Chain A
Amino acid sequence: MTKLENQLLDILREDCRIPLEKLAVMTGTDTVQVAEAIEQLERDKVILRYAPVVNWDKTDRERVEAMIEVRVLPQREQGFDAVASRIYSFDEVKSVYLMSGSYDLLVLVQARTLKELALFVSEKLSVLDTVTGTATAFVLKRYKEDGVVFENARDDGRLVITP
């Protein structure tokens, strides 16, 4: 990773709609260099997607989320990767992490209703051969995501003008 790539990641992580011209000014380079660096980051799969952080609670969509702790049997020569792949292939699954500690995979699942989500666990997840146990915890409220506080975000506590 070059210094420019690092700088661009820091800026884009906060706001990925900043035009190339401004990115070039901010990093002291030119638009060609910035465009190339971003393309490289995309080619290397460092940047995977440009997506907004959404507070779904403020929309009228039916939506329920759960975090499921999954215990699995690792498979010969493939470890956890094959099991993880089986699990993350489901559309309902938003994220999958391999964890240290008392369980193996943390699976973030999203569905429209509680019933749909429960069915996913009982009919799709628990029945996989390699899954030995699950513990489902429903998300009641989201306070902060990707560094963004959803409500009661702190105001700028500074005076309007100071010396």
Chain B
Amino acid sequence: MNYDRYLNRAIAAVPPSGIRRFFDMASTMKGTISLGVGEPDFVTPYHIRNAAIDSLLRGETQYTANRGLPELREAVSRYMRERFSLSYDPKTDIVITVGASEAIDVALRAITGPGDEILVPEPSYVSYSPSVIFAGGVPVPIVTRQEREFRLDADALRAAITPRTKALILPYPNNPTGAIMPRADLEKIAEVVREKEILVLSDEIYCELTYGEEPHTSFGSLPGMLPYTVTLNCFSKSFAMTGWRVGFVCAPAPIAEIINKIHQYTILCAPRQSQAAALHALEQGFADGFADVARMRQSYDQRRRLMVAGFRDMGLDCFEPLGAFYVFPSIRSTGLTSEEFCQRLLREKKVACVPGTAFAPSGEGHIRCSYATGLDKLNIALERMADFIRAL
């Protein structure tokens, strides 16, 4: 039977994720070292796992409030205030979601009307543009470049805005480039936002993983920006809790109201044990100054330095990423395309990286390498890659 006439054409037309295709190739090969994993190599800290077990043993197996456990929203509010100078009311401005993935989806659906344009800096996380299309909007890419350290340029932003522009997705610290937006750059973006009155969906899931002198600045904390900003975040990267699927979205009350409407009809609530674990992660963090986060950050930073130095030693042009856990070296000097490079590297040396083109056409010439992998494996992967490049 031909199902074409039954399927939603707009969605069927969205290309499958380039990551998925590579996954199918890499997962069949034994002995592969993967630098393609977009999640921490740490297991969730023991005390956080234990908090979920305790919650189960207490018999907490029911739904929570749609917006999430009140205690968790209180804790998120405190976390955002104390760590990022953001003021969000736990009763009206915060919704606990099934990871930041749901947060992206519901936030986009809450604000996007048919044909509305949503600006998406690229290369960036694979789900933004499809989610905009699923919401009935039109994703408009803004290309960022290595020469500008993959930061979003205020002039490029201004040039991309049309009367149909509804919002900008601001994905920093960035996956796949590892780029950050220092405060000075954000202030220039804020000027444009103020002038053009567009919304900003600030995806800050890597906010705890920055390695420069300057701590992460949350866009909504800039003067006058809170009313324009929807802040998306989650526990996955900061607390090594990817599989728990728990995140949150913070927005001005009228937007949060619509977000919660979609969330309550489609999801009802985030899993209760995950919320219990998340609550414990924050409470413990308040008590010990987020010691687990600091420990993981230091370990990532050491590996980050090793990777950047390793790629530069191979002769690859590699800008220094100051956020997330990715390095995004340029492989142009090899004469191969990103796709060719990654396929051959996988086949010939059993090292899996993700071609930059999986994140946007403008990712051509780059590969994404995650350093969220054990030091011993990273060292072997670097050796294999150096051999590969020498033999080209």
Question: Which residues of A are in contact with B by a Cβ distance under 8 Å?
Answer: 7, 10-11, 14-15, 18, 22, 25-28, 154, 156-163
Contact of B306 among A25, A156, A163 (CB under 8 A): A25
Apart from A22-B306, A160-B352: 12 A-B pairs, beta carbons within 8 A: A7-B302, A11-B302, A15-B375, A15-B376, A25-B309, A26-B306, A27-B305, A28-B305, A157-B43, A159-B37, A162-B23, A163-B127
- The main secondary structure of chain A at its interface with chain B is loop
Count of A-B residue pairs with CB < 8 Å: 62
User: Once the chains are docked, how many angstroms separate the CA of A162 from the CA of B372?
Assistant: 12
Question: Considering the complex, which residues of chain B in the window 246-305 have a beta carbon less than 8 Å from any beta carbon of chain A?
Answer: 298-299, 302-303, 305
Q: Chain A interface: which of B26-34, B114-122, B183-191?
A: B26-34
Q: Indicate if the CB atoms of A160 and B306 lie closer than 8 Å.
A: no
* B17 contact set on A, CB distance < 8 A: 163
B326 to chain A, nearest CB (A): 11
CA of A10 to CA of B352, assembled, Å = 28
Q: Is the C-beta of B60 less than 8 angstroms from some C-beta in chain A?
A: no
Question: Closest approach, in angstroms, between the C-beta of B60 and any C-beta of chain A?
Answer: 25
Tell me whether A27 and B302 are in contact in the complex, defined as CB-CB below 8 angstroms, given that A161-B26, A163-B126 are known contacts: yes
The answer to whether B126 touches A26 (Cβ under 8 A) is no
* Most chain A beta-carbon neighbours within 10 Å: one of B32, B127, B302, B352: B302
With contacts A154-B43, A160-B36 taken as known, whether A7 is within 8 angstroms of B298 at the C-beta atoms is yes
Q: Choose among B36, B41, B175, B309 the residue that contacts A161 (Cβ–Cβ < 8 A).
A: B36
Q: How far is the CA of A22 from the CA of B309 in the complex (A)?
A: 9
Give, as a whole number of angstroms, the nearest-CB distance from A3 to chain B: 10
CB-defined contacts of B26 to chain A, threshold 8 Å: 160-161
Is residue B354 contacting chain A, with contact meaning CB distance below 8 A? Answer: yes
Q: A15-B376, A156-B41 are in contact. Are A161 and B302 (CB under 8 A)?
A: no
**Is B219 on the interface with A (CB-CB < 8 A)?**
no
Give the distance in Å from the alpha carbon of A159 to the alpha carbon of B372 in the complex.
13
Within 8 A of A (CB), among B9-62: 17, 19, 22-23, 26-27, 32, 34, 36-39, 41, 43
Q: Show 28 A/B contacts (Cβ-Cβ < 8 Å), sorted by A.
A: A7-B298, A7-B302, A10-B299, A14-B375, A18-B375, A22-B306, A25-B309, A26-B302, A27-B302, A27-B305, A156-B41, A158-B37, A158-B41, A160-B26, A160-B32, A160-B36, A160-B37, A161-B19, A161-B23, A161-B26, A161-B34, A161-B36, A161-B354, A162-B23, A162-B38, A163-B125, A163-B126, A163-B127
Q: In the assembly, what is the distance between CA of A11 and CA of B32, in Å?
A: 25
Q: Give CA–CA (A11, B43) in the complex, Å.
A: 18
Looking across the interface, which residue of chain B has its beta carbon closest to that of A21? B309
Give the residue of A10, A25, A27, A158 whose beta carbon is less than 8 angstroms from that of B39: A158
* Residue contact B376 to A162, C-beta cutoff 8 Å: no
A26 contacts B37, CB within 8 Å? no
**Residue on B nearest A154 in the bound complex, by CB:** B43
Pair B37/A161 contact, Cβ less than 8 Å: yes
Q: Which residues of A contact B298 (CB under 8 A)?
A: 7, 10
What distance in Å separates the Cβ of A52 from its nearest Cβ neighbour in chain B? 14
| Chain B residue at minimal CB-CB distance from A161 | B36
A159-B27 contact, Cβ under 8 Å, with A10-B298, A22-B306: yes
Contact of A162 (CB < 8 Å), options: B19, B32, B303, B305: B19
The residues of B that contact A27 with a CB separation of less than 8 Å are 302, 305
Taking a contact as CB atoms under 8 Å apart, the answer to whether A160 and B27 are in contact is yes
Q: How far is the CA of A9 from the CA of B380 in the complex (A)?
A: 22
Q: Which residue on chain A has the smallest CB distance to residue B308?
A: A25
Cα(A14)–Cα(B309), bound, Å:
21
**Considering only CB atoms, which chain A residue lies closest to B373 in the complex?**
A156
Whole-angstrom distance between the Cβ of A89 and the nearest chain B Cβ: 38
Give Cα A25 to B307, complex, Å: 9
| B-chain residues with CB within 8 Å of residue A162 when the two chains form the complex | 19, 23, 36-39
Distance in Å: Cβ of A11 to nearest Cβ of chain B: 7
CA distance A27 to B376 in the complex (A): 17
**Quick one: closest A residue to B33, CB to CB?**
A160
Question: Is A25's CB under 8 angstroms from B305's CB?
Answer: yes
Instruction: Find chain A residues with CB under 8 A from B299 CB.
Output: 10
Provide the bound-state CA to CA distance between A14 and B22, in Å. 32
**CB of A146, distance to nearest CB on chain B (Å):** 16
